[in-house]
Amino acid sequence: MTKQFRDTKQRFAIKRAIAEANRPVGPKEILALASKEVPNLGIATVYRNIKTMVEQKELDAVNLPGQADRYQLPGQQSKHLFICEKTDSVFNLDLNLEDLKIELPQDFKLKSFQVVCFGEITGKKKTKITAALK
Amino acid sequence: MTKQFRDTKQRFAIKRAIAEANRPVGPKEILALASKEVPNLGIATVYRNIKTMVEQKELDAVNLPGQADRYQLPGQQSKHLFICEKTDSVFNLDLNLEDLKIELPQDFKLKSFQVVCFGEITGKKKTKITAALK
DNA sequence: TTAACTGCAAACCCTTTGCACGGTG
DNA sequence: CACCGTGCAAAGGGTTTGCAGTTAA
């Protein structure tokens, strides 16, 4: 028997919070956002739902160097990231990397790679960024 | 008054362990290696020395996506990494990226970037890898 | 001698788990 | 009415801190 999931207000609130954030967010931030809708929401519920949603592929985990994973909706997925060192917020980068290839020693089998950019944002924030390589 | 540091056998053992590992290593691994030399070494001492050494720039912190920081000697520094998904070990990559530039929106000021590669290692391990981009 | 360093244990922080209760289907 | 999901609290794992004793200089 495959497990059947139920629709709860907590689950809705958590998913909406992540959707509206529109960028990779962490458990605490999710709790803060979703708590507006469901006051007594517990952090354990957030963790459990994140886990389930990632397994169900309703959510993508975003691995960041030097900090804990954040989460976002699959449609927003892009491995390449821009991390604002001031605000600690993370943005997706659409890098034009199709024709970029990395050559490694024979022993090393490359499965994927990720470009992580660090810097600051001076103006208003955007959530989806197209960048170019030259 | 600036703090004056002392030479202890613990400090030596920790630094030697990191030097001999010759790749980015984490606190637990450092403890295991250095304990051969100093049996009763405590994990707190490892953390304290790591922190001090990073501040003194005797050590570099290596930020990894999805896992805790590791540490290595400054000479071995390279931002670009190869992570073996099987063994969970990390290797430095010397990528030829001098003429690679990333174009971002005006608002975004790029300070640095990092390429992280994921894959497997089939043969014997190396600690310093030169890779190319094409 | 004295001030930094160490080991141990306790304290923290983040994440996971156990359990009784409440809510979905 | 099954049984999954929730909230709370406790338990884990990793990192930091307090403290008394130890050691480098």
pLDDT per residue as tens digits for the range A81-127: 898 888 878 888 887 766 567 788 888 899 888 888 889 988 665 55
The pLDDT > 70 percentage for chain B reads 85
Nearest nt to the A42 alpha carbon by C1': D7
Residues B45-98 pLDDT 10s: 999 999 999 999 999 999 998 889 999 999 766 678 898 888 878 888 887 766
Contact residues for A108 (Cβ-Cβ < 8 A; gap 6+): B82, B117, B119, B120, B121, B122, B129
3-class DSSP assignment, residue A89: coil
Q: Residue B120 CA to nucleotide C16 C1', Å? A: 30
Check whether residue A53 has its CB closer than 7 Å to nucleic acid strand D: no
Nearest to B65 among A107, A111, A114 (CB): A114
Strand B128-133, strand B90-95: pairing: parallel
* Joined tokens for residue A6: 């139920």
Check whether residue A2 has its CB closer than 7 Å to nucleic acid strand D: no
Q: How far apart are CA B68 and CA B70, in angstroms?
A: 7
Q: How far apart are CA A39 and CA A87, in angstroms?
A: 26
Dihedral of CA atoms B82, B110, A60, B62 in degrees, nearest 10, equals 40
Give A82's contacts in chain B (Cβ within 8 Å): 104, 108
Q: What is the pTM of this model?
A: 0.83
Give A103's contacts in chain B (Cβ within 8 Å): 131-134
Nearest to A109 among B61, B111, B119 (CB): B119
**Could you tell me which of A86, A88, A43 has the C-alpha nearest to residue A65?**
A88
H/E stretch holding B5 = none
Instruction: Test A111 with B132 for CB contact under 8 angstroms.
Output: no
Residue with tokens 């390449």: A80
Beta-bridged to residue A133, according to DSSP, are B102
Higher pLDDT, B103 or B16: B16
pLDDT (0 to 100) of residue A124: 61
Give B122's contacts in chain A (Cβ within 8 Å): 107-109
Check whether residue A67 has its CB closer than 7 Å to nucleic acid strand C: no
Mean pLDDT of chain B: 87
What distance in Å separates residue A20's CA from the closest CA in chain B? Answer: 22
* Joined tokens for residue B18: 């990191």
Q: How far apart are CA B62 and CA B59, in angstroms?
A: 10
Check whether residue A30 has its CB closer than 7 Å to nucleic acid strand D: no
Instruction: Test B122 with A100 for CB contact under 8 angstroms.
Output: no
Give A93's contacts in chain B (Cβ within 8 Å): 104
pLDDT (0 to 100) of residue B106: 84
Instruction: Test B111 with A118 for CB contact under 8 angstroms.
Output: yes
The pLDDT > 90 percentage for chain A reads 49
- Under a CB-based contact definition with an 8 Å cutoff, are residues A33 and A17 in contact? yes
Chain A residue whose CA is closest to B90: A108
Check whether residue B7 has its CB closer than 7 Å to nucleic acid strand D: yes
- What is residue A56's DSSP assignment? T
